[in-house]
Structure 1
Amino acid sequence: MSASENKQLLRTAFDAWGTGDIRPLIAAMADDVTWTVGGHTSWSGSFRGKDSVRRDLLAPLGEQFDGTYTSTASRFVAEDDVVVVETRGSVATKAGARYDNQYCFVVRLEGGRIREITEYLDTQLVAEVLPDLAR
C-alpha cells in the first residue's frame, strides 16, 4: 500500500478510537503484531502477537478505567510503510484519578496490516496513576 493508503487506514482506525471503539485498530493488526510501550514502567516493554496485545496490555489497562477510554488523534505523518500518529487519551481511573496522556505512535504497516506499533507517552503519568502491571 502507498503511504497515503496507510495513513488513511490509520485515520479510520483512530477516528473510531476517538469515540471509544478500538476494534478497527485491532482488526488492522497482523496476527504477529508487536506493540512496544516505551519507558521504564511496569507497563513498558513489547507485547508480541495480537492475542498478547489484547490479553496482556489492553485488557489489564481497560480494567483500570472507569468509563470508556478515548484516544483522539491530532496529526498523521506518513512516509513509505510508516505512519506517525499524535494522540491524546482521556479517561478517569477507578481510583478517581485522571489518565489523560499524550502519545506518539510510530506504526509500521505491511500489506495493509499493522506489523509494529511503538508507543511514546508520559511515563511519569503512568507511574503516578496506574498500578503496576503484573506480568
Structure 2
Amino acid sequence: MSAASNKQLVIDAWQVFATRDADQVRGVFALDAEWLAPADNATSRAIDGTHHLVGRDRIVRFLAEEFSTVFVDNVSIEFGGFYADGDTVIVEMRLQATLAHGGHYDNEYCFIFELESGLIKRVREYMDTRRGEAWFRAPATADRQGRSEATVTRH
C-alpha cells in the first residue's frame, strides 16, 4: 500500500477505536499485533499494570472495554497531524477526558503505527508520563499544567 493509503488506514482506525465496538476494532489489527507504551505509565497501572499489550484480543479488550473505565466521560481527541512513510504512520494528538475519580486529564501523545498487509501490526505510544501521573492523582492535587501542587515551587 502507498504511504497515502496507509495514512488513511490509520485515520480510519481512529474512527473505529472511537466506536468501542470490539468486532470493528478487531478488524483493524493483525492477529499478532502489539501495543507498547512507556513502562509503569498511569493508564497501564489503572487497568492491569500491563504497558505491553500482546495480541489482537488483548488490544481489543483495552480499546473496547478498559479504556472507558479509566477515561469515563468527556473524552476529546484533538489530532495535531498524521505523517506517513511507507508502512509507518505517525500520529500526534491530545487527549482530554474525565477520569474515574472525577478529575480532568489532559496530555499529548505521539503514536507510531507499523502496518502490514493493510492491518495494524504494532503501535508504539509515547506521552509525558510525569504529566499523565499528575492527572491520575486526586482531582484537587493537580493544577491545569498537570503538576502536583506539592511540586510547584514559587521563587
- What interval of TM-score do these two structures reach, taking the shorter chain for normalisation? 0.7 to 0.9
Measure the CA separation in 2 of the matches of 1:31 and 1:68. Answer: 31
Contact persistence 1:75–1:87 (CA under 8 A): yes
Q: Which amino acid aligns with 2:80?
A: S
C-alpha displacement of 1:99: 1.4
| In the alignment, structure 1 residue 28 sits paired with structure 2 residue 34 | no
Q: Could you say which structure has the larger radius of gyration? A: 2
SS in structure 2 of the partner of residue 7 of structure 1:
helix
C-alpha displacement of 1:96: 1.8
Task: Output the aligned Cα RMSD.
Answer: 2.4
C-alpha displacement of 1:22: 4.9
Instruction: Give the number of the structure whose residues are more often helix, by fraction.
Output: 2
Contact persistence 1:74–1:86 (CA under 8 A): yes
TM-score normalised per structure 2: 0.70
Measure the CA separation in 1 of the matches of 2:10 and 2:25. Answer: 7
Contact persistence 1:106–1:119 (CA under 8 A): yes
Change in CA separation of 1:78 and 1:25 when aligned onto 2, cut-off 3 Å = farther
Match of 1:111 among 117, 130, 134: 117
Instruction: Report the number of matched residues.
Output: 128
Contact persistence 1:99–1:125 (CA under 8 A): no
Kindly report which structure 2 residues correspond to 1:6-45, keeping only aligned pairs within 5 A, or say none.
6-14=6-14, 16=15, 20-23=18-21, 26-41=26-41, 43=44, 45=51
SS in structure 2 of the partner of residue 95 of structure 1:
coil
SS in structure 2 of the partner of residue 66 of structure 1:
strand
Kindly report which structure 2 residues correspond to 1:1-135, keeping only aligned pairs within 5 A, or say none.
1-14=1-14, 16=15, 20-23=18-21, 26-41=26-41, 43=44, 45-55=51-61, 57-58=62-63, 59-67=65-73, 69-130=75-136
- Structure 2 gap ranges (5+): 45-49, 138-155
SS in structure 2 of the partner of residue 67 of structure 1:
strand
TM-score normalised per structure 1: 0.79
Measure the CA separation in 2 of the matches of 1:5 and 1:93. Answer: 34
Over 6 Å off, 4+ runs: none
